Amino acid sequence: MTWFSKPASIKGTLLALLLPAGITLMAVAWLVHGLLLDRMSRAFVETRLKDEVAFLEHQIRDSGGQLDTLQTGDYFQEVFHHAFAIHSPSRTLMSPESWAPLLMPLIASGSDGSVRVSGPGGDNLPSDILAYRDSFTVDGTPIVVVVSEDLDALQRSQSELHLWTAIVSLLLILLLVGVLWLGITLSMRPVVSLKATLKRLQDGEVSRIAVQAPEEFHPLVVQLNQLLDSLDQRLERSRDALANLSHSVKTPIAAVRQILEDEDRPLTHDLRQQMAARLSDIDRQLEAEMRRSRFAGPQVGKSAYPLKQARDLLWMLGRLYPAKSFEMSTLLTEERRWPIEEHDLNEVIGNLLDNAGKWSNAVVELGLEEDAEGLTITVEDDGPGAPADLLPSLGTRGVRLDEQTPGHGLGLAIAREITERYGGTLEFSPGTIGGLKARVHFPGNSGGSRQ
């Protein structure tokens, strides 16, 4: 059974949570105030009654136990504001005398200290009193003193104070509602602004989200803008790929078509070779563009396990080049992840290893590192290497070291293109074991991420 329905807005959610909480806390504070007020009032009255009993005892001892001397000069009417009773074997003084039904049992009770007495009330008698009794002797004469307070009057005062506290609490609750409403409205202004910007983005009035978002919404705005950038980049890459593909295949197709449409020209062996070469060019171009179309580029929430993927690639290339040794050195653990899309990382490492495998004599070494500067992949081989003047241009589309080695230029170009999409760099230099060394560096993200 559902007791509460989910509010339709953040403002409604905050009000639904904060208002009941505020009202509940205010009600608890009001109840605690009543309990503390009653306890403090009783403690204060008991202290006063005890002090007045002590004062009466001091006066009685100074008078030598003569109670008659205490009545002169309307002493009690001027000094005491509580009902009292003083009893000795020869005389009993009481004020007011109407309280005798309540005070006389206390005199005869025989137990000293504070006591609360409830009566039927009426006939100028309170229904609830708090009294303090003390007994002592003066020159061998036993004397009992009782001083009491009308709790009905005290409770009426407390109830009035408690009522005013409730009124003030209600006013504070109304003020709390206003403050919460104002605070939530002001806090939600960035959300309203973001909503309006998203509407403008949907209508095509703006191309990016440019709002002064608070700290909590700043990552959201950044991620949305990155997503828009990624979509634009994908659209641009798709258009470039289609344009490149169209431009690359038009000429070979036109040449083949011209040969096939020329009925007066027989299909000699040379013409067949030319047609096969043209079709091979088309096939390579299609393969290259299809591979590029699978590149993802930076994706939020996408990551890869570099150690696992590197081991799989080393195993596969070891079967492809059985006469050569593929080795790896790294301090990464199996659980370490890099913020690179899995297929992209496979393309980078796989193309570099495949290039090294084709050119190496016997050994290919792979290194995976991470530090405060970012993520690094190094691949070295013990092959002939490359001329120093060609190193900066390696990996550029169309540049190949040897036309007799198929696919060599395409693989490095793909690795460089993927690396640049992640803001990284691909550099070539002479290797430490005699051949070529390729170094890929992805900046930022010190140490990747853990699972």
In the prediction, which pLDDT does 451 show? 43
Q: Which fold has domain 306-443?
A: Heat Shock Protein 90 (3.30.565)
Dihedral, CA atoms, 59, 63, 69, 71, nearest 10 degrees? 10
The half-sphere exposure of 394 on its side-chain side, counting CA atoms within 13 A, is 24
Exposure letters 328-354 (e unless 16+ CB within 10 A, then b)? beeebeeebbbbbbbbbbbbbbbbbbb
Show pLDDT as tens, one digit a residue, over the chain (451 residues): 445 455 566 777 777 777 788 788 888 888 887 788 778 877 888 888 888 888 888 888 877 777 766 654 445 544 556 788 888 888 888 777 777 788 888 888 778 888 887 766 666 677 777 888 888 888 888 888 888 887 777 777 777 877 888 888 888 888 888 887 888 788 777 777 877 887 877 777 777 777 777 777 777 778 788 777 777 777 776 766 666 666 666 767 777 777 777 777 676 777 677 777 777 777 766 766 666 555 555 655 578 899 999 999 999 998 999 999 999 999 988 899 898 888 888 889 998 999 899 989 999 999 999 988 889 999 999 988 888 788 877 767 554 444 444 444 577 888 888 888 888 999 998 888 888 999 999 987 534 444 4
Q: What is the 8-class DSSP label of residue 372?
A: T
CATH of domain 11-156: 3.30.450
The three-class DSSP label of residue 136 is strand
* DSSP per-residue string spanning 310-324: HHHHHHHHHHHSTTS
Contacts of the segment 160-165: beta carbons below 8 A, 24+ positions apart? 161/37, 162/30, 162/33, 162/34, 162/37, 165/30, 165/33
Same fold flag, 11-156 and 306-443: no
Burial 373-408 (b: 16+ CB within 10 A, else e): ebbebbbbbbbebbeeeebeebbeeeebbeeeeeeb
The helix or strand, by DSSP H or E, that contains position 40, with its residue range, turns out to be helix 10-62
Residue 76 contacts by C-beta under 8 Å, 6 or more apart in sequence?
70, 84, 95
* pLDDT score for 245: 66
Domain segments of the chain as ranges? 11-156, 218-293, 306-443
